[in-house]
Every structure is written in structure tokens, then in C-alpha cells.
Amino acid sequence: MPAALPSSLSSLGDFKACRNIADGAVIILASGASAKDFPITEFGHVPFIAMNGSITLLNEAGISPFFYVSSDRGFAREQPELFSLAMAKSQRVAIWQDQYERLQPKPGGEVFFLKKARNLSFFQRLIDHDQVLVRNHNSLNKRVRSLGFSKNLEHGYFDARTVAYLALQIAYHVGFTQVFLLGVDLNQSVARFYEKDGSHKSPCGLDQHLEGRILPSFKLAASQVAGERFRIYNLSSTSRIPDEVIPKISLNTLRSMI
């Protein structure tokens, strides 16, 4: 069973407090339609990192997310009930500091403030033996150089225009070594699994950023971060992330791996 929520109402801290606190497998739960029929309760013993409206699936199964992240300030305004649910039910949340300061009531779990990664100086890169901020430094293209992957969120995160990529950086930061992407379909033409006919639908910019930022970011993570220490798999057969970037696996394969 998932760990219980902390006894304190809220434990406020920076990302240093959750560095390498976990290991093994984690499921990153996004809101793509492919996640709707996933047997959540069968894998209730596996930690989940949820985001935005994907909290609904875990709540229905009585599962508390190991981590919940929402980097889009608009989501809290557009889906206040879902955002409040996540704040109340999650063991840990990653949100912006100004959001936290306005929240009433405060989150029930630990709180970590988001910040974006900054450029390292030439000297900082020389002494960064662990390469905590992975970048394409050699590219002449400024946009490509802005892509990256943060292994340590004390230094901030890289924005790929999809919160699933931020969740992937959280998974590395806290110490998980086997990551399974669920519902990371990246298909703007298909409604999120929690959206109903007539309900409010949050804006989506997947098509706008897919080729320029989303896929290049996942390619960077696959080529420069994934390996023996950190393996990434995709549970969505309809995901627009190519199989040669993040390998797609079946539900039965997942069962054999966990």
C-alpha cells in the first residue's frame, strides 16, 4: 500500500529535502486517453507521480500520489476543484511559491517550490563533474541550447512545454531508477481522460510545441540521461514519442518487470 500522508499539515522545504529518497520503479501518470483503462489498483503498490487532472484516476482508486506536480498556473484557475483535490491528497506537491502563498487551505503533504534552470557559467560547467544540468552546449542553435534535463532540482528544471517532462526530472531527482510513462500520449486531438462532455477544458499547446521542444527534450533525456542508472519505458501504444526514443512496452511486460 502507498505510504500514509505526513502527520503534519504541511512540511515546507526546498528540493534538497527529497533528494534520493526513493528507488526502484515509479509510474508517471499523465492525462492522455490511453491511461483511462489502465488497471490502477493492480499497481497501487507502485509509487505514482501525478500531474494536473490525472489526480482523478488515483483518487477514484484511493491512491495517494507519491508526488503531484503542476507547472501551469492556469490549471489551478481553470480546474480549481481538481487542483484542490491534488493539494489535499498528495504526499508531496511541486508548485510555484506564489501559488502556495495564496492557497487556502495549505497542501496536506510536503511542498517544494518550482524554479526554472539557469545557465551555468563556464567555470561552473568545468567543476560540474556530475553534470546535474544536462544541456546541448555544443549546438549553435540558441533554441536547441535551451533544452536540457535537470538531475538535481535544487538547480531548477527544464521546461519542455509538457508537465510530463518535468515529472521525469522529479523521478530522477528523488532517486527512482525505473520509470514508466502512462498516458503520455501527446495527442491534442483526443480529449484528456478526465474531461467530460460539457465540462471545462483547459487549453492545450501540444501540437504547437511537439516538434520544436517536446520531442527534442525527450530525445535528449533518452540519449544523455537514460541508461543503467535510469531506465524509461512508455506504456502508451498511441504515444507520439517514437519507440526508438522511449521504448513502448505492453501491460504484460510491465507486470513481468514489477
Q: Tens of pLDDT along 183-217?
A: 999 986 555 655 565 555 555 556 677 888 899 99
Q: Does residue 131 lie in a domain region?
A: yes
Distance CA 105, CA 118 (A): 32
Domain region containing 253 = 11-257
Count of domains forming the chain: 1
Dihedral in degrees, nearest 10, Cα atoms 204, 211, 117, 78: 0
Q: What is the pTM of this model?
A: 0.87
Nearest to 238 by CA among 189, 196, 169, 165: 189
25-29 and 178-182 strand pairing: parallel
Q: Does residue 63 lie in a domain region?
A: yes
Q: Does residue 167 lie in a domain region?
A: yes
Q: Does residue 4 lie in a domain region?
A: no
Q: Does residue 26 lie in a domain region?
A: yes
C-alpha cell at 66: 507519491
Query: pLDDT tens, 98-129?
Result: 999 999 999 999 999 999 998 665 555 555 55
